[in-house]
Amino acid sequence: RNIIYRFINNKIPSRSLLQYIFSKNVTFANCQICSGDTETADHLLFTCPAKLFVWNEIIFEFLWPTVFVPTLIQATLRLNLQELPVYCRIPEVLSTITVVLITIAEIWKAHFHFVFDNMPFDSTTVITNIRH
């Protein structure tokens, strides 16, 4: 419900934010899914390789393929998804805003199933959930 609000206000509970707040309990800020980059809000929702795969598939399937994730991040932060140089391929069924919000919600849900339920983050399952 409040994912976008948290993202805009830099309050997504990423490992880097949690390490900053709870430095004694969170000893490292690296992403638990890719084990590479620091898990920032952008990384958690968009740029982790597993999540980037989801975005690339969704962009190709539902949006115009010339949309790039950095542009999507900036449009989301400004709450102006209409500014994206895209159109939804099936506008009578889905709007760009709907596609983006559903994708963010499904990535968020799958990420926290990984964190709290030890369920692997499966990009294919996330994409399937978005399609339905």
Number of domains in the chain: 1
Phi, psi of 94 (to 5 degrees): -135, 145
Domain with 73 in it: 3-131
Residue 79 CA to residue 22 CA, distance in Å, equals 30
Helix then strand then coil, % of the chain, to nearest 5: 60, 0, 40
Task: Identify the CA nearest to 75 among candidates 22, 4, 21.
Answer: 4
The pTM is what?
A: 0.86
Q: What is the pLDDT along the chain (132 residues), one digit of tens a residue?
A: 588 898 998 888 776 766 666 776 666 678 889 988 888 889 999 999 999 999 999 998 888 778 899 999 999 999 888 777 555 666 666 778 888 999 999 999 999 999 889 999 999 999 999 988
